[in-house]
Structure 1
Amino acid sequence: MKKYVLFDHDGVLVDTEFWYYKAGERALADIGFTLDKTQYLRSMSQGQGTWAQARAADIDEHTISRQRAVRDDYYQEYLRTEAIEIEGVVDTLADLSKHVRMAIVTTAKRADFDLIHEKRQIQQFMEFVLVREDYKRSKPHPEPYLTALHRFGAAKEETLVVEDSLRGLNSAVAADIDCAVVHNEFTKTHDFSQATHQIKTLTELKEIIRATS
Protein backbone atom coordinates (compact mmCIF):
# COMPACT_ATOMS: atom_id res chain seq x y z
CA MET A 1 0.00 0.00 0.00
CA LYS A 2 1.28 3.46 -0.90
CA LYS A 3 1.30 5.67 2.17
CA TYR A 4 3.74 8.36 1.00
CA VAL A 5 3.96 10.44 -2.18
CA LEU A 6 7.11 12.39 -3.06
CA PHE A 7 6.45 15.07 -5.65
CA ASP A 8 8.94 16.65 -7.95
CA HIS A 9 8.08 20.31 -8.25
CA ASP A 10 8.86 22.06 -11.55
CA GLY A 11 6.68 20.66 -14.30
CA VAL A 12 4.64 18.58 -11.85
CA LEU A 13 3.09 21.04 -9.42
CA VAL A 14 3.85 24.28 -11.27
CA ASP A 15 4.46 24.89 -14.97
CA THR A 16 7.96 26.38 -14.80
CA GLU A 17 10.20 24.17 -16.98
CA PHE A 18 9.69 26.29 -20.10
CA TRP A 19 10.42 29.54 -18.27
CA TYR A 20 13.64 28.18 -16.79
CA TYR A 21 14.75 27.30 -20.31
CA LYS A 22 13.71 30.74 -21.61
CA ALA A 23 15.68 32.47 -18.85
CA GLY A 24 18.82 30.57 -19.82
CA GLU A 25 18.23 31.16 -23.50
CA ARG A 26 17.86 34.89 -22.85
CA ALA A 27 20.99 35.07 -20.67
CA LEU A 28 23.08 33.37 -23.35
CA ALA A 29 21.57 35.52 -26.10
CA ASP A 30 22.88 38.53 -24.18
CA ILE A 31 26.42 37.37 -25.02
CA GLY A 32 25.60 36.37 -28.58
CA PHE A 33 25.14 32.62 -28.03
CA THR A 34 22.08 30.77 -29.32
CA LEU A 35 20.89 27.96 -27.04
CA ASP A 36 19.71 24.95 -29.02
CA LYS A 37 16.46 23.70 -27.48
CA THR A 38 16.78 20.12 -28.70
CA GLN A 39 20.28 19.82 -27.26
CA TYR A 40 19.12 21.53 -24.08
CA LEU A 41 16.42 18.89 -23.58
CA ARG A 42 18.96 16.14 -24.22
CA SER A 43 21.38 17.66 -21.70
CA MET A 44 18.56 18.15 -19.20
CA SER A 45 17.63 14.47 -19.37
CA GLN A 46 21.23 13.62 -18.45
CA GLY A 47 21.26 15.86 -15.40
CA GLN A 48 22.98 18.77 -17.17
CA GLY A 49 21.45 22.06 -18.18
CA THR A 50 21.82 25.46 -19.78
CA TRP A 51 25.59 25.73 -19.56
CA ALA A 52 26.65 22.46 -21.21
CA GLN A 53 26.39 24.00 -24.68
CA ALA A 54 28.19 27.13 -23.57
CA ARG A 55 31.12 25.11 -22.24
CA ALA A 56 31.21 23.03 -25.43
CA ALA A 57 31.55 26.31 -27.33
CA ASP A 58 34.54 27.28 -25.12
CA ILE A 59 32.77 30.06 -23.26
CA ASP A 60 34.91 30.65 -20.19
CA GLU A 61 33.79 29.89 -16.64
CA HIS A 62 33.89 33.52 -15.54
CA THR A 63 31.40 34.45 -18.26
CA ILE A 64 29.23 31.45 -17.46
CA SER A 65 29.18 32.38 -13.78
CA ARG A 66 28.18 35.96 -14.63
CA GLN A 67 25.44 34.85 -17.03
CA ARG A 68 24.15 32.27 -14.55
CA ALA A 69 23.37 35.15 -12.19
CA VAL A 70 21.68 36.95 -15.08
CA ARG A 71 19.67 33.81 -15.86
CA ASP A 72 18.54 33.60 -12.25
CA ASP A 73 17.30 37.20 -12.40
CA TYR A 74 15.41 36.55 -15.63
CA TYR A 75 13.88 33.39 -14.18
CA GLN A 76 12.61 35.19 -11.10
CA GLU A 77 11.16 37.87 -13.39
CA TYR A 78 9.20 35.15 -15.21
CA LEU A 79 8.08 33.57 -11.94
CA ARG A 80 6.62 36.92 -10.90
CA THR A 81 4.90 37.71 -14.19
CA GLU A 82 3.96 34.52 -16.05
CA ALA A 83 1.05 32.14 -15.44
CA ILE A 84 2.60 28.95 -14.04
CA GLU A 85 -0.38 27.28 -12.38
CA ILE A 86 -1.35 23.76 -13.45
CA GLU A 87 -5.09 23.22 -13.45
CA GLY A 88 -6.41 20.81 -10.84
CA VAL A 89 -3.25 20.54 -8.74
CA VAL A 90 -4.62 22.04 -5.52
CA ASP A 91 -7.86 20.05 -5.65
CA THR A 92 -5.94 16.82 -6.31
CA LEU A 93 -3.56 17.46 -3.43
CA ALA A 94 -6.47 18.19 -1.10
CA ASP A 95 -8.04 14.87 -2.03
CA LEU A 96 -4.80 12.89 -1.77
CA SER A 97 -4.00 14.40 1.62
CA LYS A 98 -6.88 12.38 3.09
CA HIS A 99 -5.11 9.14 2.17
CA VAL A 100 -1.34 9.65 1.99
CA ARG A 101 1.44 11.75 3.48
CA MET A 102 3.17 14.03 0.99
CA ALA A 103 6.39 15.97 0.48
CA ILE A 104 8.18 17.86 -2.29
CA VAL A 105 11.65 16.86 -3.52
CA THR A 106 12.93 19.46 -5.95
CA THR A 107 16.10 20.67 -7.62
CA ALA A 108 14.75 24.22 -7.34
CA LYS A 109 16.77 26.62 -5.25
CA ARG A 110 15.19 27.92 -2.04
CA ALA A 111 14.90 31.49 -3.31
CA ASP A 112 12.99 30.39 -6.42
CA PHE A 113 10.81 27.96 -4.50
CA ASP A 114 9.84 30.56 -1.92
CA LEU A 115 9.02 33.10 -4.63
CA ILE A 116 6.78 30.60 -6.43
CA HIS A 117 4.85 29.78 -3.27
CA GLU A 118 4.36 33.26 -1.82
CA LYS A 119 0.72 33.26 -2.92
CA ARG A 120 -0.03 29.62 -3.75
CA GLN A 121 -1.84 26.93 -1.79
CA ILE A 122 0.36 23.91 -2.48
CA GLN A 123 2.66 23.82 0.55
CA GLN A 124 -0.17 23.39 3.03
CA PHE A 125 -0.53 19.76 1.95
CA MET A 126 3.17 18.92 2.33
CA GLU A 127 4.87 17.72 5.50
CA PHE A 128 8.23 19.01 4.30
CA VAL A 129 10.09 20.30 1.26
CA LEU A 130 13.61 19.38 0.14
CA VAL A 131 15.17 22.02 -2.14
CA ARG A 132 18.56 21.97 -3.85
CA GLU A 133 20.37 23.26 -0.76
CA ASP A 134 19.10 20.31 1.32
CA TYR A 135 21.25 17.58 -0.23
CA LYS A 136 24.70 17.23 -1.80
CA ARG A 137 24.06 15.26 -5.01
CA SER A 138 21.24 16.28 -7.30
CA LYS A 139 18.99 14.18 -9.51
CA PRO A 140 19.59 11.80 -11.31
CA HIS A 141 21.51 10.67 -8.20
CA PRO A 142 19.18 8.88 -5.74
CA GLU A 143 20.23 11.02 -2.76
CA PRO A 144 17.29 13.48 -2.90
CA TYR A 145 14.66 10.73 -2.75
CA LEU A 146 16.59 8.61 -0.26
CA THR A 147 16.85 11.71 1.96
CA ALA A 148 13.07 12.12 1.78
CA LEU A 149 12.49 8.46 2.67
CA HIS A 150 14.70 8.88 5.71
CA ARG A 151 12.88 12.06 6.75
CA PHE A 152 9.54 10.27 6.61
CA GLY A 153 10.87 7.00 8.03
CA ALA A 154 9.14 5.40 5.04
CA ALA A 155 9.79 2.10 3.32
CA LYS A 156 10.45 2.16 -0.43
CA GLU A 157 7.51 -0.12 -1.17
CA GLU A 158 5.17 2.27 0.66
CA THR A 159 6.25 5.25 -1.44
CA LEU A 160 5.44 6.69 -4.86
CA VAL A 161 7.50 9.34 -6.63
CA VAL A 162 5.82 11.70 -9.11
CA GLU A 163 8.10 13.11 -11.81
CA ASP A 164 8.01 14.71 -15.25
CA SER A 165 11.60 14.34 -16.50
CA LEU A 166 14.04 11.54 -17.27
CA ARG A 167 16.50 12.99 -14.79
CA GLY A 168 13.90 12.73 -12.04
CA LEU A 169 12.76 9.28 -13.14
CA ASN A 170 16.35 8.04 -13.07
CA SER A 171 16.71 9.39 -9.53
CA ALA A 172 13.63 7.46 -8.42
CA VAL A 173 14.75 4.30 -10.21
CA ALA A 174 18.21 4.54 -8.62
CA ALA A 175 16.51 4.88 -5.22
CA ASP A 176 14.37 1.80 -6.08
CA ILE A 177 11.09 3.68 -5.61
CA ASP A 178 8.05 3.31 -7.88
CA CYS A 179 7.60 6.36 -10.09
CA ALA A 180 4.60 7.84 -11.87
CA VAL A 181 5.58 10.19 -14.69
CA VAL A 182 3.05 12.91 -15.44
CA HIS A 183 2.87 14.36 -18.94
CA ASN A 184 4.71 17.61 -19.49
CA GLU A 185 4.79 19.07 -22.99
CA PHE A 186 8.33 20.31 -22.41
CA THR A 187 9.77 16.87 -21.52
CA LYS A 188 7.53 14.65 -23.64
CA THR A 189 10.45 13.45 -25.79
CA HIS A 190 12.24 11.84 -22.82
CA ASP A 191 12.38 8.05 -22.54
CA PHE A 192 10.03 7.10 -19.70
CA SER A 193 10.03 3.36 -20.33
CA GLN A 194 11.27 2.65 -16.79
CA ALA A 195 8.34 4.46 -15.17
CA THR A 196 5.93 2.38 -13.10
CA HIS A 197 3.04 4.54 -14.35
CA GLN A 198 2.64 7.18 -17.06
CA ILE A 199 -0.23 9.59 -16.53
CA LYS A 200 -1.62 12.63 -18.31
CA THR A 201 -2.66 14.62 -15.21
CA LEU A 202 -2.19 14.42 -11.47
CA THR A 203 -5.85 13.52 -11.02
CA GLU A 204 -4.94 9.99 -12.15
CA LEU A 205 -2.88 9.56 -8.98
CA LYS A 206 -6.10 8.95 -7.07
CA GLU A 207 -6.67 5.71 -8.94
CA ILE A 208 -3.06 4.61 -8.52
CA ILE A 209 -3.20 5.16 -4.76
CA ARG A 210 -6.60 3.48 -4.53
CA ALA A 211 -5.28 0.45 -6.44
CA THR A 212 -2.49 -0.05 -3.89
CA SER A 213 -4.74 0.06 -0.82
Structure 2
Amino acid sequence: MLKGIFWDNDGILVDTEPLYYRAMQETLAEVGIPLPMDLYRRITLEEGRSSLCLAQEAGFSDADLSRLRDAKNARYSRMLQAGITPLAGAVEAVAALRPYVGMAIVTSSLRDHFELMHRHSGLPQQFDFILTREDFHNTKPHPEPYLKALARSGLRPEECIVIEDTRRGLEAARAAGLRCLVIPGGLAPDAAYPGAWKVAANLDMARRLLEGELAAETSFTESSFPI
Protein backbone atom coordinates (compact mmCIF):
# COMPACT_ATOMS: atom_id res chain seq x y z
CA MET A 1 0.00 0.00 0.00
CA LEU A 2 1.33 3.43 -0.95
CA LYS A 3 1.65 5.53 2.20
CA GLY A 4 4.47 7.95 1.45
CA ILE A 5 6.02 9.97 -1.37
CA PHE A 6 9.55 11.37 -1.21
CA TRP A 7 10.00 14.27 -3.63
CA ASP A 8 13.26 15.53 -5.06
CA ASN A 9 13.29 19.32 -5.27
CA ASP A 10 15.54 20.68 -8.03
CA GLY A 11 14.10 19.75 -11.41
CA ILE A 12 10.93 18.32 -9.85
CA LEU A 13 9.33 21.13 -7.85
CA VAL A 14 11.43 24.05 -9.11
CA ASP A 15 13.45 24.56 -12.30
CA THR A 16 16.82 25.40 -10.75
CA GLU A 17 19.15 22.94 -12.49
CA PRO A 18 20.03 25.38 -15.34
CA LEU A 19 20.89 28.08 -12.79
CA TYR A 20 23.11 25.75 -10.77
CA TYR A 21 24.91 24.67 -13.92
CA ARG A 22 25.47 28.30 -14.91
CA ALA A 23 26.79 29.19 -11.45
CA MET A 24 29.24 26.30 -11.56
CA GLN A 25 30.26 26.96 -15.16
CA GLU A 26 30.95 30.66 -14.55
CA THR A 27 32.89 29.95 -11.36
CA LEU A 28 35.16 27.42 -13.06
CA ALA A 29 35.58 29.65 -16.13
CA GLU A 30 37.11 32.33 -13.90
CA VAL A 31 40.02 29.97 -13.18
CA GLY A 32 40.33 28.75 -16.76
CA ILE A 33 38.43 25.46 -16.49
CA PRO A 34 35.71 24.86 -19.12
CA LEU A 35 32.55 22.99 -18.17
CA PRO A 36 30.56 21.99 -21.27
CA MET A 37 27.07 20.64 -20.70
CA ASP A 38 27.89 17.04 -21.64
CA LEU A 39 30.67 16.95 -19.03
CA TYR A 40 28.40 18.47 -16.37
CA ARG A 41 25.70 15.90 -17.14
CA ARG A 42 28.13 13.03 -16.68
CA ILE A 43 29.89 14.30 -13.55
CA THR A 44 26.98 15.82 -11.65
CA LEU A 45 23.67 14.50 -12.97
CA GLU A 46 24.80 10.91 -13.53
CA GLU A 47 27.73 10.30 -11.16
CA GLY A 48 26.55 12.64 -8.41
CA ARG A 49 29.95 14.34 -8.01
CA SER A 50 30.64 18.04 -7.73
CA SER A 51 32.05 19.55 -10.91
CA LEU A 52 34.65 21.18 -8.67
CA CYS A 53 36.45 17.85 -9.00
CA LEU A 54 37.79 19.30 -12.27
CA ALA A 55 39.66 21.94 -10.27
CA GLN A 56 40.96 19.29 -7.90
CA GLU A 57 42.20 17.23 -10.85
CA ALA A 58 43.88 20.36 -12.22
CA GLY A 59 45.96 20.61 -9.04
CA PHE A 60 44.06 23.22 -7.05
CA SER A 61 44.66 23.06 -3.30
CA ASP A 62 41.99 22.32 -0.70
CA ALA A 63 41.98 26.02 0.23
CA ASP A 64 41.47 26.95 -3.43
CA LEU A 65 38.61 24.46 -3.71
CA SER A 66 36.97 25.92 -0.62
CA ARG A 67 37.17 29.43 -2.11
CA LEU A 68 35.71 28.20 -5.39
CA ARG A 69 32.89 26.46 -3.55
CA ASP A 70 32.08 29.63 -1.62
CA ALA A 71 32.17 31.69 -4.83
CA LYS A 72 29.85 29.24 -6.60
CA ASN A 73 27.41 29.21 -3.68
CA ALA A 74 27.36 33.01 -3.51
CA ARG A 75 26.79 33.29 -7.27
CA TYR A 76 23.99 30.71 -7.11
CA SER A 77 22.36 32.54 -4.19
CA ARG A 78 22.32 35.77 -6.20
CA MET A 79 20.65 33.95 -9.08
CA LEU A 80 18.01 32.48 -6.79
CA GLN A 81 17.25 35.86 -5.25
CA ALA A 82 16.03 37.02 -8.65
CA GLY A 83 13.01 34.76 -8.10
CA ILE A 84 12.08 31.14 -8.76
CA THR A 85 8.62 29.83 -9.61
CA PRO A 86 7.42 26.23 -9.20
CA LEU A 87 7.53 24.00 -12.25
CA ALA A 88 4.31 23.62 -14.22
CA GLY A 89 2.01 21.19 -12.43
CA ALA A 90 3.98 21.12 -9.17
CA VAL A 91 1.48 23.02 -7.03
CA GLU A 92 -1.43 21.03 -8.46
CA ALA A 93 0.27 17.64 -8.03
CA VAL A 94 1.25 18.33 -4.43
CA ALA A 95 -2.24 19.60 -3.57
CA ALA A 96 -3.91 16.58 -5.20
CA LEU A 97 -1.77 13.97 -3.42
CA ARG A 98 -1.29 15.69 -0.05
CA PRO A 99 -4.55 14.46 1.54
CA TYR A 100 -3.86 10.78 0.90
CA VAL A 101 -0.17 10.11 1.64
CA GLY A 102 2.63 11.34 3.84
CA MET A 103 5.04 13.51 1.87
CA ALA A 104 8.61 14.73 2.30
CA ILE A 105 11.20 16.59 0.25
CA VAL A 106 14.67 14.99 0.02
CA THR A 107 17.10 17.36 -1.68
CA SER A 108 20.84 17.80 -2.11
CA SER A 109 20.38 21.58 -1.98
CA LEU A 110 21.78 23.54 0.94
CA ARG A 111 19.14 24.73 3.39
CA ASP A 112 19.67 28.43 2.65
CA HIS A 113 19.40 27.80 -1.10
CA PHE A 114 16.25 25.76 -0.57
CA GLU A 115 14.68 28.56 1.45
CA LEU A 116 15.53 31.10 -1.26
CA MET A 117 13.89 28.90 -3.89
CA HIS A 118 10.68 28.60 -1.91
CA ARG A 119 10.35 32.09 -0.44
CA HIS A 120 7.04 32.58 -2.23
CA SER A 121 6.09 29.10 -3.49
CA GLY A 122 4.04 27.97 -0.49
CA LEU A 123 5.12 24.39 -1.21
CA PRO A 124 7.23 23.52 1.88
CA GLN A 125 4.19 23.91 4.14
CA GLN A 126 2.54 21.01 2.31
CA PHE A 127 5.19 18.49 3.41
CA ASP A 128 5.59 16.56 6.66
CA PHE A 129 9.35 17.13 6.72
CA ILE A 130 12.23 18.33 4.54
CA LEU A 131 15.77 16.94 4.38
CA THR A 132 18.49 19.16 2.86
CA ARG A 133 22.22 18.67 2.26
CA GLU A 134 23.06 19.40 5.89
CA ASP A 135 20.97 16.42 7.05
CA PHE A 136 23.17 13.66 5.60
CA HIS A 137 26.85 12.90 5.14
CA ASN A 138 26.61 11.21 1.73
CA THR A 139 24.62 12.75 -1.09
CA LYS A 140 22.83 11.06 -4.01
CA PRO A 141 23.50 8.58 -5.65
CA HIS A 142 24.33 7.20 -2.19
CA PRO A 143 21.17 5.81 -0.55
CA GLU A 144 21.71 7.70 2.73
CA PRO A 145 19.30 10.59 1.95
CA TYR A 146 16.43 8.19 1.28
CA LEU A 147 17.36 5.84 4.11
CA LYS A 148 17.15 8.83 6.46
CA ALA A 149 13.79 9.77 4.96
CA LEU A 150 12.53 6.23 5.52
CA ALA A 151 13.69 6.27 9.13
CA ARG A 152 12.07 9.66 9.71
CA SER A 153 8.79 8.59 8.08
CA GLY A 154 8.44 5.35 10.02
CA LEU A 155 7.40 3.54 6.83
CA ARG A 156 8.77 0.50 5.02
CA PRO A 157 10.40 0.83 1.57
CA GLU A 158 7.54 -0.97 -0.17
CA GLU A 159 5.11 1.64 1.21
CA CYS A 160 6.87 4.58 -0.47
CA ILE A 161 7.63 5.99 -3.91
CA VAL A 162 10.34 8.50 -4.82
CA ILE A 163 9.94 11.18 -7.51
CA GLU A 164 13.25 12.08 -9.20
CA ASP A 165 14.54 13.70 -12.38
CA THR A 166 18.12 12.37 -12.64
CA ARG A 167 19.91 9.05 -12.85
CA ARG A 168 21.80 9.76 -9.63
CA GLY A 169 18.48 10.26 -7.84
CA LEU A 170 17.10 7.06 -9.32
CA GLU A 171 20.18 5.13 -8.18
CA ALA A 172 19.87 6.56 -4.66
CA ALA A 173 16.22 5.52 -4.46
CA ARG A 174 16.84 2.02 -5.78
CA ALA A 175 19.81 1.50 -3.46
CA ALA A 176 17.48 2.35 -0.57
CA GLY A 177 15.01 -0.28 -1.79
CA LEU A 178 12.47 2.26 -3.04
CA ARG A 179 10.39 2.47 -6.19
CA CYS A 180 11.23 5.54 -8.24
CA LEU A 181 9.05 7.53 -10.62
CA VAL A 182 11.31 9.52 -12.94
CA ILE A 183 10.38 12.75 -14.71
CA PRO A 184 13.40 13.32 -16.99
CA GLY A 185 15.03 16.68 -16.28
CA GLY A 186 15.45 19.39 -18.86
CA LEU A 187 19.25 19.11 -18.81
CA ALA A 188 19.17 15.39 -19.65
CA PRO A 189 15.86 14.69 -21.41
CA ASP A 190 17.17 11.72 -23.40
CA ALA A 191 18.95 9.87 -20.59
CA ALA A 192 18.08 6.24 -19.87
CA TYR A 193 16.60 5.34 -16.49
CA PRO A 194 17.05 1.58 -16.00
CA GLY A 195 15.14 0.19 -13.07
CA ALA A 196 12.68 3.09 -12.77
CA TRP A 197 9.22 2.11 -11.55
CA LYS A 198 7.68 4.46 -14.13
CA VAL A 199 8.88 7.31 -16.36
CA ALA A 200 6.53 10.28 -16.83
CA ALA A 201 6.82 13.13 -19.30
CA ASN A 202 5.72 15.77 -16.79
CA LEU A 203 4.22 16.34 -13.36
CA ASP A 204 0.65 16.07 -14.59
CA MET A 205 1.32 12.58 -15.94
CA ALA A 206 3.18 11.69 -12.74
CA ARG A 207 0.21 12.81 -10.65
CA ARG A 208 -2.16 10.63 -12.69
CA LEU A 209 0.14 7.61 -12.32
CA LEU A 210 0.29 8.06 -8.55
CA GLU A 211 -3.45 8.60 -8.28
CA GLY A 212 -3.89 5.36 -10.22
CA GLU A 213 -1.57 3.57 -7.80
CA LEU A 214 -3.51 4.93 -4.84
CA ALA A 215 -6.83 3.93 -6.39
CA ALA A 216 -5.56 0.39 -6.96
CA GLU A 217 -4.14 -0.04 -3.45
CA THR A 218 -6.34 1.92 -1.08
CA SER A 219 -9.62 3.73 -0.63
CA PHE A 220 -8.02 7.20 -0.71
CA THR A 221 -8.26 7.80 3.05
CA GLU A 222 -6.48 10.82 4.49
CA SER A 223 -2.94 10.10 5.64
CA SER A 224 0.38 11.53 6.82
CA PHE A 225 3.61 10.10 8.14
CA PRO A 226 3.32 8.52 11.62
CA ILE A 227 5.60 11.09 13.23
1:14 and 2:26 matched: no
Q: Which string of whole-angstrom CA distances, capped at 9 and with x for unpartnered residues, describes residues 136-195 of structure 1?
A: 221111111111111111111110000011111100010110000012111224331211
1:102 and 2:140 matched: no
Number of residue equivalences? 213
Q: Which string of whole-angstrom CA distances, capped at 9 and with x for unpartnered residues, describes residues 83-126 of structure 1?
A: 44311211111011122111000111111111111211111210
2:94 and 2:211 map into 1 onto residues whose CA distance is 14
Where does 1:145-156 land on structure 2 (aligned, <5 Å)? 145-156=146-157
4+ aligned runs moved over 3 Å, structure 1: none
- Which shifted more, 16-25 or 189-198? 189-198
TM-score (norm 2): 0.89
Corresponding residue for residue 90 of structure 2: 89
Cα root mean square deviation, aligned: 1.4
TM-score (norm 1): 0.94
- Which shifted more, 116-125 or 174-183? 116-125
Identity level (%) = 35
- Aligned AA (1:144): P
2:190 and 2:67 map into 1 onto residues whose CA distance is 31
With over 3 angstroms needed to count, the CA separation of the structure-2 counterparts of 1:43 and 1:208, relative to structure 1, is: same
- Aligned AA (2:35): L
SS of 1:47's partner is coil
Corresponding residue for residue 62 of structure 2: 61
Contact 2:183/2:206 (CA < 8 Å) preserved in 1?
no
Q: Which runs of 5+ in 1 are unaligned?
A: none
1:84 and 1:91 map into 2 onto residues whose CA distance is 13
Contact 1:3/1:159 (CA < 8 Å) preserved in 2?
yes
- Which shifted more, 42-51 or 203-212? 203-212
Contact 2:97/2:211 (CA < 8 Å) preserved in 1?
no
With over 3 angstroms needed to count, the CA separation of the structure-2 counterparts of 1:33 and 1:84, relative to structure 1, is: farther
